[in-house]
Amino acid sequence: MKRLRIEPHHPLQGRLQPPGDKSISHRALLLAAIADGDSVITNFLPSRDCLATLACVRDLGVHITVHDHATLTVHGRGLHGLRSSTGPLDCVRSGTTMRLLAGLLSGQAFSTILTGEEQLLRRPMERVAGPLRRLGAKIETSDGHAPLSIHAGELQGGNLPLSVPSAQVKSALLLAGLYASSPVSVHQSAPTRDHTERMLAWMGADITIDVDRATVNPTNCLSPLSIGIPGDISAAAFPIVGAAIVPGSEVILTGVGINATRTGIVDVLQEMGAQIDISHEHMEGNEPVGQIRVSASALRGVRIGGETVVRMIDELPLLAVAATQAEGRTEVCDAAELRVKETDRIATVVAELRKLGARIEEKPDGLVVEGPTALTGGTVDSHGDHRLAMALAIAGLVAEKEVVVHNISCIGDSFPDFISQMKSIGASYD
Ligand code: S3P
């Protein structure tokens, strides 16, 4: 579908099970590929980004049996069992695929080229290539971007600070560390998502994890996984914000990953006055999971920056939508990383929400929203960015008239069932 038409003012009500977490799905595939034996992955996210990782892993000689779209068996080949692909690996539009593979493939006995679609070729890759070189990787970028050429090589250990708060870069270094001759220690000054560390520990890798540092020691073997992927809080965030802002709404989301490195959106919405509670907390695959209940209430503006921004980096376009409905000023700073996502998300979210009458202003490292605003109807565009497409689809729920979002096929990059799930709780999407 090329465009989505949204009829406003329908309260959201009911229960949802959000799809499997995108970040954890990528990691489960990559780590299962190098485990000693067969891993079973359930609730895998069959989105375009994760399917790009799946295809790359197959190209590296790993056999994967797909039982249904969300259940897979990955026949792991052990740490040294990957094979050279016949051609360049296509990461499509997935930054996580490319950056994590860059780390995993830096210590192999064969060379690889990583490439992808134009949107991905625009994104910065020196942030991962530079630190990998410090471990001895022979990796070339094309003027700081993909395609990446990774040559066969041997890696040594090292102590590396993260120069940008990126879990993708951290994970690349930890994956490379599995192949290094001595420990690789990554120091971070902000709490980026820690799914790689948790999964490595669960598979028996020799890894130590502190708040600001993870150290992986050379490893001989990883145990296979048997993992149910927790629901993706970044996907759940869309119905959560929808239910928080559409009067009369009440939604329950089950089986949602509530890892503290990802729950910034819940904390900030609560600070804004949203009625959200978390229950049924338990662990699944070394990740905390729970049920989230949210109902509509009056919101007030909030000021966020620092660690909170890192813990909700993918939810900031959506927060801007919530802020248009909140009383007073919302200010986001320390979020310059948004400029190097699938689009420059500061520029695109500001441009598109303004078309709906939002009072929103761009800052070099964030944005400012004045609310509340009765959004007008109108036509907006996703710029090919899945998170912007869905954030605009949520904005349409509270507009005065119909909103049409163009260019929505990108939603499949992370949440293929977004439209049907939203319709199942009452959204009028067509
Ligand atoms: C991700 C990390 C984040 C996030 C992306 C997924 C991951 O990117 O924006 O959607 O799975 O590690 P950065 O590491 O570049 O911040």
249 Cα–ligand 1 center, Å: 30
Atom number of ligand 1 nearest to Cα 26: 11
- Beta-carbon-side half-sphere exposure of residue 74 (alpha carbons within 13 Å): 36
Query: CB of 268 within 8 A of CB of 312?
Result: yes
The separation between the first and the last C-alpha atoms of the chain, rounded to the nearest angstrom, is: 10
Q: What's the pLDDT tens digit per position in 199-240?
A: 999 999 999 999 899 999 988 999 999 999 999 999 999 999
263 Cα–ligand 1 center, Å: 14
Question: What is the C-alpha to C-alpha distance for residues 326 and 320, in angstroms, rounded to an integer?
Answer: 10
Query: CB of 307 within 8 A of CB of 327?
Result: no
Question: What is the C-alpha to C-alpha distance for residues 63 and 68, in angstroms, rounded to an integer?
Answer: 15
17 Cα–ligand 1 center, Å: 22
Atom number of ligand 1 nearest to Cα 167: 14
66: helix, coil or strand? strand
Question: What is the C-alpha to C-alpha distance for residues 357 and 374, in angstroms, rounded to an integer?
Answer: 8
Q: How many CB atoms lie within 10 A of CB 115?
A: 18
Atom number of ligand 1 nearest to Cα 170: 14
Question: What is the C-alpha to C-alpha distance for residues 246 and 272, in angstroms, rounded to an integer?
Answer: 15
Judging by DSSP bridges, how do beta strands 226-228 and 38-42 pair with one another? Answer: parallel
Residues whose CB falls within 8 Å of the CB of residue 283, separated by 6 or more in sequence, listed in order = 289
Domain 22-228, CATH class in plain words: alpha beta
Question: What is the C-alpha to C-alpha distance for residues 296 and 247, in angstroms, rounded to an integer?
Answer: 6
- Spell out which residues line ligand 1, taking CB within 6 angstroms: 23, 96, 166-168, 171, 193, 313-314, 337
Annotated active-site residue in 21, 59, 314, 381: 314
Q: What's the pLDDT tens digit per position in 159-200?
A: 999 999 999 999 999 999 999 999 999 999 999 999 999 999
The packing angle between helices 195-202 and 22-33, to 10°, is 40
Give the residues of the chain that fall short of pLDDT 50.
none
Atom number of ligand 1 nearest to Cα 313: 9
166 Cα–ligand 1 center, Å: 6
CATH of domain 3-20+230-429: 3.65.10.10
Choice from 98, 123, 168 to test ligand 1 binding pocket (greatest atom count within 8 A of CB) = 168
The question of whether 314 is a catalytic residue gets the answer yes
Domain boundaries, the chain: 3-20+230-429, 22-228
Residue nearest to atom 10 of ligand 1 (CA): 314
Question: What is the C-alpha to C-alpha distance for residues 139 and 136, in angstroms, rounded to an integer?
Answer: 9
Atom number of ligand 1 nearest to Cα 341: 9
pLDDT of residue 1: 57
Q: Do domains 3-20+230-429 and 22-228 have the same CATH topology?
A: yes
18 Cα–ligand 1 center, Å: 19
Residue nearest to atom 9 of ligand 1 (CA): 314
Choice from 166, 311, 316, 334 to test ligand 1 binding pocket (greatest atom count within 8 A of CB) = 166
pLDDT of residue 74: 98
Q: Residue 405: enclosing H or E segment and its boundaries? A: strand 403-406
Coarse DSSP helix, strand, coil percentages of the chain, rounded to the nearest 5 percent:
35, 30, 35
390 Cα–ligand 1 center, Å: 18
